[in-house]
Structure 1
Amino acid sequence: MGPGVLLEPVAPLELSVNRWQPSSLRKQAIPEDTPEIIDRKVRGLLNKLTIERFDPISAQIIQWVNKLENDKDGRTPIQVIRLVFENAIHDETACEMYARLCRKMMEQISPKVQDKGIKNPEGKPIAGGQLFRKYLLNHCQEDFERGWVTKEATAAATKLKATEDEAAKAEAEKNNEEGAALYSEEYYAAQKAKRQGLGLIKFIGELFKLQMLTERIMHECIKKLLGNVENPEEGGIESLCKLLATVGKLLDTPKARAHMDVYFSRMKDMAKSNNVNARMQFMLQDLIELRERSWIPCNAVAAPRRLQRSMNEYVRFHLLLSEC
């Protein structure tokens, strides 16, 4: 274009709805009461939750639950409970900490948090800690029953993998080759479901220890796990041993002694069954011996003996020195 050429006027640019914006501006544009923001914030806080920082982090999580106390559908407590469950079943070692978090949330949730769809016998909406405990019980029941659906897939995938390994091993021996057996995607998915199931059982036990769940619920879980004594599945035996190792001492009271005797009688029969592999037999036997020791772990029983032995050796050593 040469000098002196006039340009026609152009309309100013209009801001489009889906235009690009910096992340800082996008965060300001999204309201804090959306499920996406709550999910991201609570997930971040749960990732930071540790025993040392339990009080300040748990207080922030409770603030997010109480922030939407004017909503009457209870969606925020349900969302937070789901996130807590996801973290608990993936980290079995932290189940006790997450159970403490649930207990604290039940005690400190605002009484204004309600769900109009859940009412007490008087016809009034359940609110506050009572509502939170109701949600928690429903989630425990749903996850426990869902675990009994996935356990069939776990057993089938494990059996299929064992068959494939035997075939691959026979083929390798035939060809004088050594190779690592490949694991199928179904096998990895089944093993993941198995780990999550054991984490759920541990978490349920820790909730019971904090009086979040009742003894009746624990007995129903044990009866469910003991339903097939003649041909039990490996996942059911592991879950049973995990649950009783966590809550057995609290359940084994004079009031429930008869029930516990029946449970352990069935477990003794399972330990002698030819349909149970050696690993599960040892696991059952360890639990039976744990009850016979009044629920005192074997390392706790052996510790004083080792200490006494060390002290005796220490005294004999100094006596020998004195004689020299």
Structure 2
Amino acid sequence: MQSELILKKDVDLHHSQDPYRVQNADEIDEDQSIERQLRFVLNRLTPENFQKLVINLINLPLNTQERLNTAVNIIYQNALNEELYSHLYAQACKLMSQIKVPFEHVSSKFISFLSILLKKCEKEFDTDYHKDKYYEYLVKEAEFVTDEQKRKQLLDQANEQLEKAKQNYIGNVSFLAELYNMDLLDDAILHEGIKRLFEKQEKDEENLECLCKLLTRVGPKFDNYKNKEKIDDYFEHLRDIYEKRFSISARIRFMILNLIELRENNWTPRHESGPKRIEEIRNQVLAEREERELRFAQTVPQTQIEFMVADGRRYSLFYGYAHHILDQLKYREDFDRVLGYILKVDPDRHSELFEALICISMDKSDQQRDLIGEFFYQNLKSKVFKLDQFKMGLRKVLLKALESYMKGYKFPKKLSQILANLIRLDFLDISFLKDAFEPVKRDQLCARIMAKTLKLAAEQIGCQNVSDIFELSGLDFNYFFENFENEVDRRDFFKEMRIEWVSTIHEHQRQSVELIQSFKEKLEVIFRETGEEPLAVLDRIEPEFHKEETKTKEFIRALSVVFFEKVLHHKRIDSDKFKKMENILVNFVKEHLDLQLEMLYSVQVLAFHMKYETNFLPVSFMLLYSDEIVERKAFFKWMNNPRGKGHGIAQVFLSSFFEHISRPQTEK
């Protein structure tokens, strides 16, 4: 009854003067947006999805010192709070370590992500956590409070803050260890840190805990012939502490004892610590299954089964051996070891091994399929693996897919995770895909695999770049999408798979082509009839083209193409001829930044059609820069405004050039 009366009354709720409300997208500035994206990625970072999510970190526009500081602070704090995953944050820091931005007040000098991070780590290492400011403030507040309950509450808060400061201090040392493992710290810095921890351990045993955690993490790499003498001294000192100092807690004593035993056991732990990932459990199940298969194989006459010995064990070819190889592939650092396993097999039989690796990877994680795709890409591009062998292996996989359980809903997506890694900006000829897909060409499976591959590749490098790589490889999208009865069904499929750009990618490039071609034909006649003499060429251009025409992008594009075709000799730029004729270009683009930009786009497209032979692109850009035909800011504007064929691929070829022009003049 009482509750009914209360509900009938008008209750006057308290209204806050500044109530919380969700911000609209237009109310969030760019700095807030970057911080949100950064936290979003870090909160979802796991060993399984690291390879995918870390790309989002690298692509964040951290182009000011304030943004770089924010990124360092957030990643650093996460590393301290989640010590178990500090190795992941260290890997992310290694990938971001080369990011540089100008100083806020001195634009000619640069500050890097790594230098900010190391200063932060050093500051925390030098800090006495007992003197935490907030802790001292709470203790002083408690001294002046007469209410016993409130005083106890303040002291509890102070102790919590002290514990938090202590965990930050320990977490910082663990994070430094992981940075060393990523080659971001050198041995000298580590020796100095260990020396200071020994000096501070008499005051506080937490420094001994830090020392044990540091040496446990870095031991396998740090304990080498160069450091052996000093490390022997460190462990002698630790033995003395263990045997003579009974004031330290039993927990720290056992920690020291475990560390000594770990080194004596060649840094091999007695048992794996930490929770197992789903992937590791799957691998354990597969290993047990493989062992059962091997025991069964031993009951069959040896003439029927082939074996490969690796790491002291025998594996049946090719699936047993492929299982073993994929078990070893966890990170990019494992690529060399895995390559060693593969090169033990006869190169003429690699297709069978590749087939087994791809088939088994269908039951692995997304991260492992990404890794195997990148592994194939690197070794195909460097020609360690033969394209024909990979093509045959892939072809066999597709044939099996047509007839087996693999032709399921998830198979196209899983296979596309491997194939998308073959479509990269540092160009690899992927024309072999045409022959590999021949068995499934008339099946919907072909369209689905290729659609998902294109979608994944476009997410990584952009639709235009995917289209450019296909064109450079002599491939036609239509080949993979011939299995539709009519154009309407094909368009509907493109829409469903979200790859509509496949049929429309070059529409915008058809504009102005006729005008450029007509200008080009007239200019070719002028160059030919004047013997390519600069003054004679300029004298002929003036009466044959209106002044306004010479300021159009179509004219500059036509002129650039004709000019560079004339200075080429056996597909290489004749620098003497270039310098002799360069005044023709200067006359039309000097002090016109927009026209200089059009010239760069022309060189980009010309290099694309030449398939990036003979360093034409970097040499052209360097001549345009060094001879001051194109201003420095025009180059950066070109880099930040992708347009036309081959822009993304061109950036890969020009990375050294932009690194050169980005350096301060004094450094050059």
TM-score tier, shorter chain, comes to 0.5 to 0.7
Per-residue CA deviation, residues 136-189 of structure 1 (Å, 9 max, x unaligned), is 21121112122xx11467xx99xxxxxxxxxxxxxxxxxxxxxxxxx8222222
The match for 2:49 among 24, 48, 53 is: 53
Bigger Rg, structure 1 or 2: 2
The match for 2:110 among 110, 126, 134 is: 126
Letter in 1 for 2:192: E
Return the alpha-carbon distance in structure 2 between the equivalents of residues 269 and 152 of structure 1. Answer: 29
DSSP-derived class of the 1:254 partner: coil
**Conservation of the 8 A alpha-carbon contact between 2:58 and 2:96:** yes
Structure 2 partner of 1:201: 173
**Conservation of the 8 A alpha-carbon contact between 1:116 and 1:125:** no
Return the alpha-carbon distance in structure 1 between the equivalents of residues 203 and 228 of structure 2. Answer: 24
Letter in 2 for 1:100: Q
Aligned-pair CA distance for 1:240:
0.6
Structure 2 partner of 1:269: 240
Task: Work out whether 1:135 is the aligned partner of 2:113.
Answer: no
Task: Work out whether 1:242 is the aligned partner of 2:213.
Answer: yes
Structure 2 partner of 1:115: 103
**Conservation of the 8 A alpha-carbon contact between 2:54 and 2:92:** yes
Return the alpha-carbon distance in structure 2 between the equivalents of residues 234 and 138 of structure 1. Answer: 25
Structure 2 partner of 1:259: 230
Aligned-pair CA distance for 1:201:
1.5
Return the alpha-carbon distance in structure 2 between the equivalents of residues 232 and 265 of structure 1. Answer: 20
Return the alpha-carbon distance in structure 2 between the equivalents of residues 243 and 68 of structure 1. Answer: 31
Structure 2 partner of 1:98: 89
Return the alpha-carbon distance in structure 2 between the equivalents of residues 152 and 20 of structure 1. Answer: 37
Task: Work out whether 1:150 is the aligned partner of 2:150.
Answer: no
DSSP-derived class of the 2:118 partner: helix
The match for 1:30 among 28, 39, 54 is: 28
Letter in 1 for 2:263: R
Per-residue CA deviation, residues 283-303 of structure 1 (Å, 9 max, x unaligned), is 111111211222221237xxx
Per-residue CA deviation, residues 62-103 of structure 1 (Å, 9 max, x unaligned), is 222xx253x4xx221221011001111001111011111111
Equivalent residues in 2 for 1:60-79, closer than 5 Å: 60-64=56-60, 67-69=61-63, 71=64, 74-79=65-70
**Conservation of the 8 A alpha-carbon contact between 1:78 and 1:135:** yes
Per-residue CA deviation, residues 184-240 of structure 1 (Å, 9 max, x unaligned), is 2222222222222222211111111010111111111111110146x3522111101
Letter in 2 for 1:274: F
Aligned-pair CA distance for 1:248:
1.9
Return the alpha-carbon distance in structure 2 between the equivalents of residues 118 and 205 of structure 1. Answer: 33
**Which is bigger in relative contact order (C-alpha 8 A, separation at least 6)?**
1
Task: Work out whether 1:188 is the aligned partner of 2:169.
Answer: no
Equivalent residues in 2 for 1:159-178, closer than 5 Å: none
Q: TM-score, normalised by structure 2?
A: 0.33
Return the alpha-carbon distance in structure 1 between the equivalents of residues 71 and 241 of structure 2. Answer: 39
Return the alpha-carbon distance in structure 2 between the equivalents of residues 30 and 185 of structure 1. Answer: 34
Q: TM-score, normalised by structure 1?
A: 0.65
The number of equivalent residue pairs is: 237
Return the alpha-carbon distance in structure 2 between the equivalents of residues 52 and 76 of structure 1. Answer: 28
Return the alpha-carbon distance in structure 2 between the equivalents of residues 281 and 187 of structure 1. Answer: 24
Return the alpha-carbon distance in structure 2 between the equivalents of residues 68 and 216 of structure 1. Answer: 30
Return the alpha-carbon distance in structure 1 between the equivalents of residues 20 and 262 of structure 2. Answer: 62
Structure 2 partner of 1:288: 260
Structure 1 partner of 2:563: none
4+ residue segments displaced more than 3 Å: 19-24, 116-119
Aligned-pair CA distance for 1:275:
2.1
Q: 1:53 to 1:141 in 2, by over 3 A?
A: same
Return the alpha-carbon distance in structure 2 between the equivalents of residues 79 and 298 of structure 1. Answer: 40
Per-residue CA deviation, residues 91-137 of structure 1 (Å, 9 max, x unaligned), is 11110111111111125x3x6x3326689xxxx5236xxx1221121
Task: Work out whether 1:233 is the aligned partner of 2:204.
Answer: yes
Per-residue CA deviation, residues 249-282 of structure 1 (Å, 9 max, x unaligned), is 2222221112112211211111121222222111
Return the alpha-carbon distance in structure 1 between the equivalents of residues 255 and 21 of structure 2. Answer: 56
Return the alpha-carbon distance in structure 2 between the equivalents of residues 267 and 240 of structure 1. Answer: 10
Q: 1:115 to 1:20 in 2, by over 3 A?
A: same
Name stretches of at least 5 consecutive residues in structure 1 with no aligned partner.
1-18, 158-182, 301-324
Letter in 2 for 1:46: L
Task: Work out whether 1:224 is the aligned partner of 2:196.
Answer: yes
**Conservation of the 8 A alpha-carbon contact between 1:117 and 1:125:** no
Percent identity of equivalent pairs:
29
**Conservation of the 8 A alpha-carbon contact between 2:200 and 2:207:** no
**Conservation of the 8 A alpha-carbon contact between 1:232 and 1:275:** no
**Conservation of the 8 A alpha-carbon contact between 1:151 and 1:235:** no
Q: 1:59 to 1:273 in 2, by over 3 A?
A: same
DSSP-derived class of the 2:97 partner: helix
Return the alpha-carbon distance in structure 1 between the equivalents of residues 185 and 76 of structure 2. Answer: 15
**Conservation of the 8 A alpha-carbon contact between 1:115 and 1:125:** yes
Name stretches of at least 5 consecutive residues in structure 2 with no aligned partner.
1-17, 137-154, 273-668
Q: 1:114 to 1:185 in 2, by over 3 A?
A: same
